Amino acid sequence: MLNQRLQQRMLQKLSPQQILLMKLLQIPSLALEQRIKQEIEENPVLEISDEFDDSPADPDNDIDERSETQADDDGPDNDIDLTDYLDDDEIPAYKLSAGNQSADDEKHDIPFASDTSFHELLISQLSLHNLTEDEQSIALNIIGNLDDAGYLQRDLNAMVDDLAFTQNISTSRKEVERILRIVQDLDPPGIAARNLQECLLIQLRRLGNIPGNGLAMLIIERYFEDFIRKHYDRIKKRSHASDDELRQSINIILSLNPKPGNAVNEQARDNHYIIPDFIIVNKDGTLELTLNQRNMPELRLNRTYLDMLESYSENKGRNSTGSQKEAVIFIKQKIDSAKWFIDAIKQRQNTLYVTMKAIMDYQHDYFLDGDETRLKPMILKDIAEKVSLDISTISRVANSKYVQTPFGTFLLKSFFSEAIQNEQGEEISTREIKKILSDCIESEEKTNPLTDEELTGILKDKGYPIARRTVAKYREQLNIPVARLRKNI
């Protein structure tokens, strides 16, 4: 049965300005520059100032004496109030920088690298082979099915069906295997393998008759399972190899690339640059924090549109047509949008600065010399209480932001960690435990690596009462394998 009733509810909704600010907070400086360019393209009222103004404009001062006079003269018949939009100096050169530039500063463009993917690299190498049209199509189909690591995960029978239904090419599994071997001869070595064993064998065959390569191929072909489990004694017994011969062959295998497709992708990633959002400088024991805003444009409102409103206001709308009023309303909306955007940028910069300043003060001892053992336990709530902001706001600030320090550039969220207590009852950061754990494993005897139980004992001797399962969890977070897989002969 349907009925109607009244109900009161309290709902909390974000305004468009708040949504804009939240979106701007969570993007880094490099993405912010692109976002500003996008806003300028979408909003004709917003523009980049060509002049350098050393005095920051006050976006709250929106009404000058002339506009106040006009407001007094406006009659009740004028249905469009333009007093808040007329100002000769309406944010003429609002700067995203907080007065930390001069007119003589040299601006540097952010470098971008244009790279070729390994799929494109393989396709370019096919032209060096004398292939028929059908063979070329089969080779392209194989390359198109390679994953990011360079492996062929698709079944060859399924590829035969794909070629028949999508390209009307009638072929066989034997023919696809023949073309696959041609693709496997391309660079980088090991490409288009169907599993790790085949990938390593392809690379070993490329090495030729170098010392130790014959035994290395025998190990991968016959004793692959023993090799990945590091059962070296069993391999030595079955292959009748000496310790030196086995060590030489294993070193050859370990020098191979298990993910050949990543060889090109990683090179492309190495050419990309991290643009820090914050810069911390240690000047004689005093930490100084600045926002990195070197290439940020100076924003202001377009004078042409303000003049249009001024002209309309002087005529007080007399003899105005409906299309003119629609144009005025459109300009007002764009001016509001531009003001919101500029104000959101300003709020973003302020929020970033106060948050990073609180983090720097909280981790003052660490930022002095970069010693990870001096990192204090810190969670989002600690910083949120210091700056009187919501935890979600702190999370947006810490997300994908980088800080440049005298000892390196780091992801901001890496400074947040949980706390544990040592034997003296003092709270210490889990980063400190991980650093000690990493140092212990790095200095261990590789022929007899430390087990998790032994690592637990070492940490307890140093005053950190941690369970073995916790040590195993920290070791996995550091991407360190178990003792058996760290063993060398």
Query: DSSP H helical segments within 255-379, as ranges?
Result: 261-270, 303-314, 322-362, 364-369
CA of 275: how far to CAs of 278, 313, 396, 410, in Å?
9, 46, 17, 11
pLDDT (0 to 100) of residue 97: 41
Per-residue pLDDT, 357: 92
Cβ of 146: how many Cβ atoms within 10 Å? 21
Q: Domain check: are 54 and 138 in the same one?
A: no
Rounded Cα distance, 330 and 82, in Å: 13
- Domain of 473: which CATH number? 1.10.10.60
Query: Is 324 exposed, middle or buried, given 0-12, 13-18 or 19+ CB atoms closer than 10 A?
Result: middle
> Where a domain ends, among 230, 246, 266?
266
Asked if 78 contacts 365 with a C-beta cutoff of 8 angstroms, the reply is: no
**Residues found in the chain:** 489
Residue at a domain's end among 379, 394, 416: 416
- What does the block give as tokens for 355? 């948050």
Within-domain flag for 472: yes
Beta carbons within 8 Å of 12's beta carbon, 6+ residues apart: none
Q: What is the 3-state composition of the chain as percent helix, strand, coil, each rounded to the nearest 5? A: 50, 10, 40
Contacts with 73 (C-beta within 8 Å, 6 or more apart), sequence order: 316
In this structure, are 160 and 229 located in the same domain? Answer: yes
d(CA 393, CA 61): 28
Q: Which amino acid is at 319?
A: N
pLDDT at 124: 85
Strand arrangement of the beta sheet that strand 278-283 belongs to: 286-291, 278-283, 402-405, 408-411
Identify the pLDDT of residue 106.
Answer: 52
The whole-number pLDDT of residue 358 equals 92
In terms of DSSP H, where are the helices of 443-479? Answer: 452-461, 468-477
Tokens 């290439």: give the residue.
295
Same domain, 249 and 300: no
β-pair type (298-301, 94-95): antiparallel
Give the integer Cα–Cα distance in Å for 367 and 405.
Answer: 7
**Residue 147 phi, psi dihedral angles, 5° rounding:** -85, 180
Cis peptide bond N-terminal to 44, omega within 30: no
Query: Looking at 356, 384, 416, which one is the last position of a domain?
Result: 416
Q: Which residue segment(s) compose the domain that 331 sits in?
A: 15-68+78-98+272-416
Residue 313 included in any domain = yes
HSE toward the beta carbon, residue 488, CA cutoff 13 A: 10
Identify whether 109 is part of a domain: no
Given this model, what pLDDT does residue 88 score?
Answer: 44
Do 261 and 364 fall into the same domain?
Answer: no
Number of Cβ within 10 Å of residue 392's Cβ equals 13
Same domain as 384, residue 305: yes
Whether 47 is in a domain gets the answer yes
Do 125 and 261 fall into the same domain?
yes
Please give the chain's pLDDT, 489 residues, in tens: 677 878 777 766 667 777 777 787 777 777 787 888 888 888 888 887 765 444 433 434 443 433 343 334 444 344 555 555 555 444 433 344 444 445 555 555 555 555 567 778 888 888 888 888 888 889 898 888 888 888 888 888 898 988 888 888 888 899 989 999 998 888 888 888 899 999 999 999 888 888 888 899 998 989 888 888 888 888 888 888 888 888 888 889 888 888 888 766 555 454 457 788 889 998 888 888 988 876 667 788 877 877 777 777 666 655 566 677 787 788 888 888 888 888 888 888 888 899 999 999 988 888 888 887 788 888 888 898 898 888 888 888 888 888 889 888 888 888 887 767 666 666 677 777 888 888 888 888 887 888 888 888 888 888 878 888 888 888 888 888 888 778 776
If asked whether residues 125 and 262 sit together in one domain, one would say yes
Say whether both 261 and 132 belong to one domain: yes
Asked whether residue 111 is assigned to any structural domain, the reply reads no
User: In this structure, are residues 180 and 204 in contact, taking their beta carbons and an 8 Å threshold?
Assistant: no
Residue 104 lies in a domain: no
**How is residue 83 annotated by DSSP?**
G
Q: Are residues 129 and 258 in the same domain?
A: yes
Same domain, 228 and 286: no
Q: 10 in a domain, yes or no?
A: no
Q: Are residues 298 and 280 in the same domain?
A: yes
Q: Are residues 396 and 425 in the same domain?
A: no
Structural domains of the chain, count: 3
Asked if residue 7 is part of any domain, the answer here is no
